[in-house]
Structure 1
Amino acid sequence: MKRFIGFVKKEFYHIFRDKRSMFILFGMPIAQIMLFGFAITNEINNVKIAVLDQSKDTETQKIIQKISNSSYFTIAQEIKTESEIESVFKKGEVKAVLVFEKDFIKHLQTQKNAKVQVITDATDPNMANTISNYITSILQNFIQEKNKNNKQAYQIQTQTQLFYNPAMKSVFTFVPGVMTVILMLVSAMMTSISITREKELGTMEVLLVSPIKPFQVIIGKVFPYIFLSVINAAVILLLGYFVFEMPIEGSLFLLAIESVLFIICALALGILISTLSDSQQTAMMISLFGLMLPVILLSGFIFPISSMPLPLQVISNIIPAKWFIIIIKAIMLKGASFSVIWKETLILVGMTLFFIVVSIKKYKIRLE
């Protein structure tokens, strides 16, 4: 029995000495419960909306103030004409536009009835539906408070209009999201495993000291995955277009260029992971747990980023998938040009260069 107890103690010592085991046992569960607990939510917070107030009277100002004071919405801007609505939506920051009819207070006082139009960006149908319900609820609450001191009941009619996805098809959200997840995980994971395999077998150093230059070795290892990932992207787009009737409103050429840029970014991230990993198992663990959860939860694919706590919103900015989802939705559903998505494109380019530079430095350190 003493031998058995001694053996168990030894195993405990081995586990406590191994930082990776400790991270898997305690670090990963804590990280996952924090991510799932804060990121997975159907509620909305601090959603940016725009206002088109064609009446500009005391009642509309009270309503705007009431909406602004709620934790659900932030008045991002006020627009002057209906022609500005689509350009506001194309920029991607504003998720809804609140339109007050002309002579709002006059209609409310004389006809006891006034109209408010809620126009939502339905590229994310679930979020659009939630926004519409929240705004309607605030308007109803406003009119109930107003009716407390009036004998005759006032009414506000809410008219909803959906931009880009009037049929509320969820596939409009899932095709860009699934494409992003597949390209990120396949590109990064396969690249990191491929290069780590060479290191694990001891052949990477042989390749790098051969007449072939180091960057040529890396490009040679990565190029097949660029080709295969491009095929994956094309298959997903074709299935989305022909099977699920996913529209492609923007330029196919721009969509192709942006997709290749994201693939290269993901491959560069895979190379970086390989420099941090000594074995295929470690590379697989980093790729799966270090990429899969953040890509799904913090990219805006399923859950709105604006509803997450501020620390998670900040962290989401370093997730390449977030910027690619914004780009691909803007091109496919909104028909956006490069002038609309240049900022997101520049961020992806910067991330790609960062991953490549760090990877090259790491490889040089390993060969010294």
Structure 2
Amino acid sequence: MNRLKGIIKKEFFHIFRDKRTLLILFGIPIVQIVLFGFAISTEIKQVKIAVLDMAKDEHSQKITEKVLSTPYFVLDKYLNDTKEIDETFKEGKIKATLVFPPKFSEELERTNQANVQIIADASDPNTGTQIGSFLQLQVQEYLITNEFSKGGIKIPALINAEVEMRYNKELKSAYMFVPGLITIILMLVCTMMTSIAITREIETGTMEVLLASPMHPAIILLGKVLPYLLLSFANASLILGLGKFIFYVPIVGNPLLLAAEIGLYCLVVLALGIFISTVARTQQLALMISLFALFLPTMLLSGFIFPVENMPLPLQIISRIVPATYFNIIIKAIMLKGASFSIIWKETVILIGIFIVLMGVSTKRFKIRLE
């Protein structure tokens, strides 16, 4: 029994002395509970919408005020005509549009019924359905709180709030998970493969031999990255092909633009893998960082499953430094909405900036290692 106690005591001593073991035991569960507790939210709140009010009369303005007085919706902009609806959706800023036809109040008071159109972005079918239902509810509540009468007699009124699910009329979940899977798989596979491959060379000493050659470190790093870039691009093409021919997910936008954006994202995540290899000293540590430090933020904070707008402000700030957040916007905009480069140029520039920073820092750290 005393020997057993000695072994147990010795094992606890080793556990508490090893910071990496403590990180796995306590750090990862804490991060997971915080991320899952705050990021996983299916609530509808602070959703940006647009309003196309072709009536601009009493009841249309009051319904708009009623909708915006709730914590669920925030006005992004007023639209002037129906042509602006598609463009605004493609920009990715709004999730729904509320459309009032001309002479809305006149029709409602004359016939005690009128029509309102609700257009929801169904590229995320669950969120689109929720938003459409919430807007319908707000319109119906307006009728409950406002009485309509003729000759002093109360008359029931009806507003037909028709919901149109744009970009995914059949509400297929594949429209959401195929673009999202490309984002997730490329992030994990590319980053993990690159970080482990380079860390292996550092462990065996061959990377230092390469860096001691006349070649510039940046050229060596690019040479290490390009094979994985081609393999990653082939991987993405395979997923797109399977999504199109098996799940019938459309590619509405320009295929060349989509290919260029996928190539850029591959470069970014490969550069991230190189950066991890400069931080991690062993293949095991590189693998752990790639899986735990990247998988959860990419899955939960990129907007793939849960809207970024629903998260607390600190997590929203963190999501802004996750490359997958921007690529998720880009790929959905091109594939499902047919967006052009003029609409996604901001996200593209941000990804280019992330790539330049990661490559610059990684190259500098490799020089330091060599010294």
1:231 aligns with 2:259: no
Equivalent runs, 1:180-195 vs 2, <5 Å: 180-195=183-198
User: Could you tell me how far apart the structure 1 residues matched to 2:68 and 2:218 are?
Assistant: 54
Of 186, 204, 210 in structure 1, the residue corresponding to residue 213 of structure 2 is 210
Q: Give 2:222's aligned amino acid.
A: I
> Structure 2: which 5+ residue stretches go unaligned?
none
1:172 aligns with 2:178: no
User: Could you tell me how far apart the structure 2 residues matched to 1:13 and 1:138 are?
Assistant: 61
Of 264, 270, 287 in structure 1, the residue corresponding to residue 290 of structure 2 is 287
**Offset at residue 3 of structure 1 (A):** 4.7
- Indicate if the aligned counterparts of 1:44 and 1:304 stay in contact, CA closer than 8 A: no
Give the match for residue 44 of structure 1: 44
Give the match for residue 134 of structure 2: 134
Equivalent runs, 1:355-366 vs 2, <5 Å: 355-366=358-369
**Offset at residue 327 of structure 1 (A):** 0.7
Structure 2 length-normalised TM: 0.95
**Offset at residue 261 of structure 1 (A):** 0.4
User: Could you tell me how far apart the structure 2 residues matched to 1:76 and 1:211 are?
Assistant: 55
Equivalent runs, 1:82-231 vs 2, <5 Å: 82-147=82-147, 151-231=154-234
Structure 1 length-normalised TM: 0.96
What percentage of aligned pairs have identical amino acids?
A: 53
Q: Give 2:289's aligned amino acid.
A: I
1:249 aligns with 2:247: no
1:57 aligns with 2:57: yes
Q: Give 1:272's aligned amino acid.
A: F
Q: Give 1:207's aligned amino acid.
A: L
**Offset at residue 32 of structure 1 (A):** 0.4
Q: CA RMSD in A?
A: 1.6
Equivalent runs, 1:262-277 vs 2, <5 Å: 262-277=265-280
User: Could you tell me how far apart the structure 2 residues matched to 1:30 and 1:143 are?
Assistant: 47
CA-to-aligned-CA distance 1:109-157 (integer Å, 9 cap, x gap) = 2211121110112211111111001111111222112249973222211
- Indicate if the aligned counterparts of 2:217 and 2:366 stay in contact, CA closer than 8 A: no
User: Could you tell me how far apart the structure 2 residues matched to 1:219 and 1:99 are?
Assistant: 51
Structure 1 counterpart SS, 2:172: coil
Structure 1 counterpart SS, 2:339: coil
1:344 aligns with 2:336: no
Give the match for residue 66 of structure 1: 66
Structure 2 counterpart SS, 1:250: coil
Q: Give 2:304's aligned amino acid.
A: F
**Offset at residue 273 of structure 1 (A):** 0.5
- Indicate if the aligned counterparts of 1:44 and 1:306 stay in contact, CA closer than 8 A: no
- Indicate if the aligned counterparts of 2:192 and 2:287 stay in contact, CA closer than 8 A: yes
CA-to-aligned-CA distance 1:150-173 (integer Å, 9 cap, x gap) = 732222111111222222221111
| Farther-moved stretch of structure 1 (40-49 vs 184-193) | 40-49
User: Could you tell me how far apart the structure 1 residues matched to 2:264 and 2:143 are?
Assistant: 50
Structure 2 counterpart SS, 1:247: coil
- Indicate if the aligned counterparts of 1:45 and 1:72 stay in contact, CA closer than 8 A: yes
Structure 2 counterpart SS, 1:115: strand
Q: Give 2:104's aligned amino acid.
A: F
User: Could you tell me how far apart the structure 2 residues matched to 1:212 and 1:323 are?
Assistant: 34
Structure 2 counterpart SS, 1:312: helix
Q: Give 2:28's aligned amino acid.
A: M
User: Could you tell me how far apart the structure 2 residues matched to 1:143 and 1:22 are?
Assistant: 59
User: Could you tell me how far apart the structure 2 residues matched to 1:59 and 1:216 are?
Assistant: 65
Of 314, 317, 332 in structure 1, the residue corresponding to residue 320 of structure 2 is 317
Q: Give 1:175's aligned amino acid.
A: V
Structure 2 counterpart SS, 1:161: strand
User: Could you tell me how far apart the structure 2 residues matched to 1:62 and 1:23 are?
Assistant: 55
Give the match for residue 9 of structure 1: 9
Q: Give 2:172's aligned amino acid.
A: K
Paired residues, number: 368
| Farther-moved stretch of structure 1 (242-251 vs 225-234) | 242-251
Give the match for residue 22 of structure 1: 22
**Offset at residue 212 of structure 1 (A):** 4.2
- Indicate if the aligned counterparts of 2:217 and 2:363 stay in contact, CA closer than 8 A: no
